[in-house]
């Protein structure tokens, strides 16, 4: 490792490329810098209240590096829980640090931006909901938030939201514009904060899986799989092979239907209603097939700790095989139309550019990252079973505009169709769920799954009573939202919906 830091990296049970270790607060900065110099990224940052375990507080950081995912735990002082700011090394740390302050009172010293993030007016600055001794909130009443102001002749502000004009999630966007060119966009999120992390505390492990799946409904399978992976790793349990292959089937169907939906909406946003109707027609046939064969249009609650709740029957395999064939043929036709359509290409090309350099500096992840040359895909580089046998091909573009994000979706949808076919052909026989071993000691684990939007991480700690003690789900929208602020710069306001849709980030997933 860089900077010659001695590390004892402990591999997690069942998941080779996830490494866990204790990192002293004094070495945090050097370690983060080392990861950055090596070309790695900060994936997630969160905290935990460990006072009831005799451990003060802890800061958790997860890094993506050449060896896989490194999960570092840093002990912090019980009375003055503080750690050195990481946002000057990894800018994506900024909002996660502010949220950790709001929820747990862990302070990043010397951080440039110390404004609140998830806390609006529902609880006060000195109350911390994720502390174990948090009782009832004392609302602040007024929610004052200092936006960054752009000044100068002819500059004016357009405030948008939290309730938006379309069928989308709530958040606030503050545009500073001259004419209709955007000089600055500042996001204010946190509106859908429903106390999800606190809700996990004390839950049984099975109910926790259902809640994890509702962190961001469109990434249900990604979150439940990551959650179950964390639970199984904590309890040193291994689900049957058939269950892992079925989880991959569910995850690829989720990726496919989300990409189809987004491709439809991208057409809609450039006034090609034809695109919307065609892609959503195909999506609907998949949703109905899922309902017929797995009992739920979005496969909710099909992944459970220890395996899966629904098996694949032979007739279902036939249906999905036929659907895969027809969808591949139709997808090719429709993607050709998008490529050939002058109006579509005129709006897509050169719009909402995130350059590879900016993407690398800011830690852009997932499909948006791959549209800006950020070649990370856990299914390709650090494949958990069964992906280690599937040889996933990575989709990569480098123009970083709406066109690139649309193309990555098209390529990934095609690749998902191929993976679904391979899974249907090679699905191992045998049981598809196994009871989890009980535990009477404290256990924890981390799950990491490449969802359709990007890397999803879930940290699970199970207490001595077998109930959940701390769960932190991480959605890649955390690091991708700030890139939307940069991608819109210099574009015109009317292109914002298109650029926003090309990222299609989750509000609920990052508001928690």
3-state SS track over 121-151: CCCCCCCCCCCCCCCCCCCCCCCCCCCCCCC
Query: What angle separates helix 241-269 from helix 220-234, to the nearest 10 degrees?
Result: 150
CA separation for the pair 232, 216 (Å, rounded): 22
Asked if residue 328 binds another protein (CB under 8 A), the reply is no
Q: What is the DSSP string of 209-254?
A: HHHHTTSSGGGHHHHHHHHHHHHHHHTT----HHHHHHHHHHHHHH
CA separation for the pair 349, 335 (Å, rounded): 15
Asked if residue 170 binds another protein (CB under 8 A), the reply is yes
For residue 373, the minimal CB distance to another protein (Å) is 28
Q: How far apart are the first and last CA of the chain?
A: 34
Asked if residue 6 binds another protein (CB under 8 A), the reply is no
For residue 170, the minimal CB distance to another protein (Å) is 5
Among 129, 239, 356, 455, binds another protein (CB under 8 A): 129
Cβ proximity to another protein, 8 vs 135, nearer residue: 135
Stretch that binds another protein, among 13-21, 91-99, 332-340, 361-369 (CB under 8 A): 332-340
Cβ proximity to another protein, 31 vs 279, nearer residue: 279
The closest of 232, 490, 266, 488 to 384, measured between CA atoms, is 232
By DSSP bridging, strand 156-160 and strand 172-178 are: antiparallel
Of residues 416 through 445, those in contact with another protein by CB under 8 A are none
Of residues 368 through 397, those in contact with another protein by CB under 8 A are none
Beta bridge partners of 63: 42, 70
Contact 243, 454 (CB under 8 A): no
Asked if residue 17 binds another protein (CB under 8 A), the reply is no
Of residues 29 through 68, those in contact with another protein by CB under 8 A are none
Token pair belonging to 402:
């709406």
Cβ proximity to another protein, 71 vs 348, nearer residue: 348
Asked if residue 147 binds another protein (CB under 8 A), the reply is no
Cβ proximity to another protein, 190 vs 445, nearer residue: 190
Stretch that binds another protein, among 129-137, 151-159, 314-322, 370-378 (CB under 8 A): 129-137
Among 156, 281, 313, 322, binds another protein (CB under 8 A): 281
H or E element in which residue 287 lies: helix 273-294
Stretch that binds another protein, among 59-67, 105-113, 122-130, 415-423 (CB under 8 A): 122-130
Q: Is 145 exposed, middle or buried (0-12, 13-18, 19+ CB in 10 A)?
A: middle
Of residues 195 through 254, those in contact with another protein by CB under 8 A are 195-196, 198-199, 207, 210-211, 214-218, 220
Q: How many CB atoms lie within 10 A of CB 214?
A: 17
CA distances from 193 to 23, 223, 414, 504, 510 (A): 30, 17, 35, 18, 8
Cβ proximity to another protein, 85 vs 511, nearer residue: 511
Measured at the alpha carbon of residue 479, what is the angle toward residues 481 and 383, in degrees to the nearest 5?
A: 130
Among 160, 168, 317, 360, binds another protein (CB under 8 A): 168
Among 31, 250, 320, 507, binds another protein (CB under 8 A): 507
Cβ proximity to another protein, 198 vs 434, nearer residue: 198
Stretch that binds another protein, among 85-93, 177-185, 334-342, 350-358 (CB under 8 A): 334-342
Stretch that binds another protein, among 23-31, 92-100, 160-168, 461-469 (CB under 8 A): 160-168
Contact 483, 358 (CB under 8 A): yes
The closest of 231, 275, 341 to 501, measured between CA atoms, is 275
The closest of 370, 358, 339 to 490, measured between CA atoms, is 358
For residue 35, the minimal CB distance to another protein (Å) is 32
- Cβ-Cβ contacts under 8 Å for 400 (sequence gap 6 or more): 353, 354, 355, 356, 359, 371, 372, 373, 487
For residue 205, the minimal CB distance to another protein (Å) is 14
Binding mask 73-102 for another protein (x = CB under 8 A): ------------------------------
CA separation for the pair 487, 379 (Å, rounded): 27
Among 60, 98, 255, 283, binds another protein (CB under 8 A): 283
Asked if residue 324 binds another protein (CB under 8 A), the reply is no
Of residues 299 through 318, those in contact with another protein by CB under 8 A are 300
Backbone angles phi, psi at 454, to 5 degrees: 155, -165
Residues forming the site for another protein (CB under 8 A): 120-123, 129, 134, 136-137, 139, 162-163, 165-170, 190-196, 198-199, 207, 210-211, 214-218, 220, 261, 265, 274, 276-278, 280-281, 283-284, 287, 291, 297-298, 300, 333-334, 336-337, 340-342, 344, 506-508
């Amino acid at each position: 490792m860089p900077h010659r830091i001695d590390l004892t990296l402990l591999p997690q049970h069942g998941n080779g490329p996830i490494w866990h270790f204790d990192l002293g607060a004094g070495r945090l900065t050097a370690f983060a810098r080392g990861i950055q110099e090596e070309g790695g990224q900060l994936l997630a940052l969160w905290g935990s209240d460990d006072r009831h375990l005799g451990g003060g507080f802890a800061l958790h950081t997860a890094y993506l590096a050449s060896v896989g995912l490194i999960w570092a735990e840093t002990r912090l002082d019980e009375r003055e829980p503080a750690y050195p700011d990481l946002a000057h090394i990894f800018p994506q740390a900024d909002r996660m640090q502010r949220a950790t302050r709001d929820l747990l009172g862990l302070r990043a010293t010397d951080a440039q931006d110390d404004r609140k993030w998830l806390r609006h007016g529902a609880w006060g600055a000195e109350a911390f909901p994720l502390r174990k001794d948090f009782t009832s909130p004392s609302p602040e009443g007024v929610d004052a938030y200092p936006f960054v102001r752009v000044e100068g002749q002819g500059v004016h502000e357009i405030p948008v939201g939290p309730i938006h004009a379309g069928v989308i999630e709530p958040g606030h966007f503050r545009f500073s514009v001259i004419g209709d060119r955007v000089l600055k966009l500042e996001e204010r999120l946190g509106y859908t904060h429903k106390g999800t992390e606190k809700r996990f505390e004390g839950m049984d492990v099975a109910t926790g899986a259902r809640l994890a799946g509702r962190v961001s409904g469109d990434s249900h399978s990604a979150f439940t799989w990551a959650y179950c992976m964390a639970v199984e790793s904590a309890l040193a349990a291994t689900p049957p092979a058939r269950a892992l292959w079925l989880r991959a089937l569910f995850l690829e169907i989720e990726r496919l239907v989300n990409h189809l939906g987004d491709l439809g909406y991208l057409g809609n946003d450039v006034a090609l209603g034809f695109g919307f109707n065609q892609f959503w027609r195909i999506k609907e046939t998949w949703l109905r097939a899922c309902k017929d064969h797995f009992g739920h249009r979005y496969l909710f609650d099909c992944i459970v700790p220890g395996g899966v709740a629904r098996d694949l029957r032979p007739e279902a395999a036939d249906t999905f095989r036929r659907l895969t064939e027809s969808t591949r043929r139709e997808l090719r036709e429709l993607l050709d139309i998008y490529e050939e359509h002058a109006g579509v290409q005129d709006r897509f090309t050169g719009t909402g550019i995130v350059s590879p350099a900016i993407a690398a500096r800011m830690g852009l992840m997932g499909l948006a990252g791959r549209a800006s040359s950020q070649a990370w895909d856990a299914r390709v580089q650090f494949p958990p079973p069964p992906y280690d046998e599937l040889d996933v091909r990575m989709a990569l573009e480098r123009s970083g505009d709406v066109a690139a994000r649309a193309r990555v979706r098209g390529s990934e949808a095609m690749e998902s169709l191929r993976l679904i076919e391979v899974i249907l052909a090679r699905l191992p026989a045998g049981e598809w769920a196994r009871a989890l071993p009980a535990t009477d000691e404290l256990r924890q684990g981390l799950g990491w799954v490449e969802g359709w939007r990007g890397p999803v991480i879930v940290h699970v700690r199970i207490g001595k009573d077998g109930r959940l003690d701390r769960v932190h789900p991480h959605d890649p929208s955390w690091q991708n939202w700030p890139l939307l602020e940069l991608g819109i710069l210099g574009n015109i306001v009317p292109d914002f919906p298109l650029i926003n849709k090309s990222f299609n980030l989750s509000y609920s997933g990052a508001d928690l």
